Amino acid sequence: MVINSNSIACNNDQSFWLWKKTIEQRTGVRITADRENALVSLLSRRMDELHYEDVKDYFADSLDDAKGAGEWSQLVDSLLIKETSFFRHPPSLGYVENWIERNIKAKSKRRRPIWLWSIGCASGEEAYSLAIVVKQAMERRGRKAAFGIVATDISRKAIGEARRGIYAAKKLTCISAVLKDKYFDQVDDHNYRVKDNLRRHICFLSSNILDDKSPMVRRKMDLIYCQNMLVYFRRWQRREIITKLISHLQPDGHMLVGLGELGIWVPPGLERTVPKTVQAYKVRTAQEETAKPREEIITGFALEQAKRRC
Ligand SMILES: C[S@@+](CC[C@H](N)C(=O)[O-])C[C@H]1O[C@@H](n2cnc3c(N)ncnc32)[C@H](O)[C@@H]1O
């Protein structure tokens, strides 16, 4: 399929194949058959707008770290699925709430702030929801809200929106009037802005989870929250990402992913926790590692999953 004078041909065309492969290698974004036309149109439009005649030149310039960073980021942005909402998966947030409560009880003299990492946070709704849950739980226990959230996404545009923290009123309908009043200011008839009492707990950063160089998580995290992002990656890549993330967890850290995103695979060094309505894991302690062979756990979950599928 030749789509314009720039002659980007779909399917068998080598240039197009190279684009697809490079995008997936660099970002994990897969250009499935149903999205090929969208990519072709996008590339053609950008080449026209930037007056490129040869797709090879456009490819080389876009991949040039110095010259093409802006263009590459814009291209990738157009291909990402950034669907999100406040309190998107209540059972997972309920898990976080219980985890905070338990944590406070167990470490009553704890002085260190708790750190969470929201990965693939899109336009920020997930990180703000987490902040509300954590802050409310801490306040209920009479604690000073000592926590920080690092929220990252590959999309610079989404991170810009997250930092602005302005949301249409219709996006906030799931939030009670009390919480809305406490954490949002009404900007005009249609929009609300997140208040500083929530914002100051969150640091939004644009970062590619496949890029090892990212400096944002030098600190160890108490909880990693990664929902509805892994689903866009190939299975082997999901496992690689999770295995890497484990090294960012505290020795008693927890990790939550979207339901079904890891299937029956139990990441090394972690064990799945209850309830089953969420896909949550905790780091296995040294005693647990020796007490229970990992196969036993995998088999347990494998059986459960298999039963659920029947
Ligand atoms: C469907 S949204 C999920 C948003 C949020 N986690 C939720 O559950 O509502 C997936 C997000 O993952 C981000 N993403 C995709 N590939 C990524 C990568 N390689 N590194 C970081 N973020 C990525 C996308 O930009 C998008 O904002």
Task: Kindly state whether residues 25 and 148 are assigned to the same domain.
Answer: no
Over the range 259-278, which residues count as b (16 or more CB within 10 Å of their CB) and which as e? Answer: eebbeeebbeebbbbeeeeb
* pLDDT at residue 15, rounded to an integer: 84
Can you give the three-state secondary structure of 194-257, one letter per residue?
ECHHHHCCEEEEECCCCCCCCCCCCCCEEEEEECCCHHHCCHHHHHHHHHHHHCCEEEEEEEEE
Is the distance from the beta carbon of residue 126 to the nearest atom of ligand 1 less than 6 Å?
yes
Question: Phi and psi (nearest 5°) for 224?
Answer: -110, 130
10-residue mean pLDDT series, the chain (310 residues): 45 78 92 90 93 90 88 92 96 96 75 92 98 96 90 96 98 96 97 98 94 70 97 94 94 95 93 91 80 41 34
Counting ligand 1 atoms within 8 A of each CB, the residue from 88, 229, 245, 255 with the most, and so the one to mutate, is: 229
Is the distance from the beta carbon of residue 122 to the nearest atom of ligand 1 less than 6 Å?
yes
The answer to whether residue 6 is domain-embedded is no
CA 282 – ligand 1 centroid, Å: 22
Which CB contacts under 8 angstroms, 24+ apart, belong to 190-195?
191/166, 191/167, 192/166, 192/167, 193/164, 193/165, 193/166, 193/167, 194/124, 194/128, 194/165, 194/166, 194/167
Which structural domain, as residue segments, surrounds residue 44? 14-79
95: which 2 tokens? 């898990």
* pLDDT at residue 3, rounded to an integer: 44
Task: Kindly state whether residues 29 and 176 are assigned to the same domain.
Answer: no
Q: Are 32 and 79 in contact (CB under 8 A)?
A: no
Minimum CA distance residue for ligand 1 atom 11: 120
Q: Are 190 and 168 in contact (CB under 8 A)?
A: yes
Minimum CA distance residue for ligand 1 atom 12: 120
Is the distance from the beta carbon of residue 174 to the nearest atom of ligand 1 less than 6 Å?
no
Please identify, by atom number, the ligand 1 atom nearest to the C-alpha of residue 209.
20
The answer to whether residue 64 is domain-embedded is yes
The answer to whether residue 132 is domain-embedded is yes
* pLDDT at residue 219, rounded to an integer: 80
Q: Which of 59, 79, 99 is the last residue of a domain?
A: 79
Is the distance from the beta carbon of residue 82 to the nearest atom of ligand 1 less than 6 Å?
yes
The answer to whether residue 302 is domain-embedded is yes
Please identify, by atom number, the ligand 1 atom nearest to the C-alpha of residue 258.
8
* pLDDT at residue 68, rounded to an integer: 86
Q: Are 255 and 226 in contact (CB under 8 A)?
A: yes
Task: Kindly state whether residues 26 and 106 are assigned to the same domain.
Answer: no
194: which 2 tokens? 């997140």
* pLDDT at residue 199, rounded to an integer: 97
In 16-130, beta strands by DSSP E: 114-119
CA 24 – ligand 1 centroid, Å: 14
Task: Kindly state whether residues 180 and 266 are assigned to the same domain.
Answer: yes
CA 231 – ligand 1 centroid, Å: 9
CA 120 – ligand 1 centroid, Å: 3
Chain segment 131-149, per-residue pLDDT in tens: 999 999 999 988 888 999 9
232: which 2 tokens? 């866009």
Cα–Cα distance for residue pair 241/220, rounded to 1 Å: 16
Is the distance from the beta carbon of residue 206 to the nearest atom of ligand 1 less than 6 Å?
no
Cα–Cα distance for residue pair 10/36, rounded to 1 Å: 7
Q: What is the CATH number of the domain that holds 203?
A: 3.40.50.150
Task: Kindly state whether residues 54 and 125 are assigned to the same domain.
Answer: no
259: which 2 tokens? 């339901």
Q: What is the reported pTM?
A: 0.88
Three-state DSSP at 34 gives: helix
Task: Kindly state whether residues 173 and 223 are assigned to the same domain.
Answer: yes
Please identify, by atom number, the ligand 1 atom nearest to the C-alpha of residue 28.
19
Task: Kindly state whether residues 63 and 131 are assigned to the same domain.
Answer: no
CA 229 – ligand 1 centroid, Å: 5
CA 76 – ligand 1 centroid, Å: 12
Alpha helices for 118-204 (secondary structure H) = 125-140, 156-164, 177-183, 196-199
The answer to whether residue 241 is domain-embedded is yes
**Which DSSP category does 33 fall into?**
G
Q: What strands lie across the sheet with 184-186, from one edge to the other?
A: 166-168, 191-194, 184-186
Is the distance from the beta carbon of residue 239 to the nearest atom of ligand 1 less than 6 Å?
no
Q: What strands lie across the sheet with 270-272, from one edge to the other?
A: 202-206, 147-153, 114-119, 221-226, 249-257, 279-283, 270-272
* Domains: count for the chain: 2
The answer to whether residue 8 is domain-embedded is no
Counting ligand 1 atoms within 8 A of each CB, the residue from 150, 153, 255 with the most, and so the one to mutate, is: 153
**β-bridge pairing 191-194 and 166-168:** antiparallel
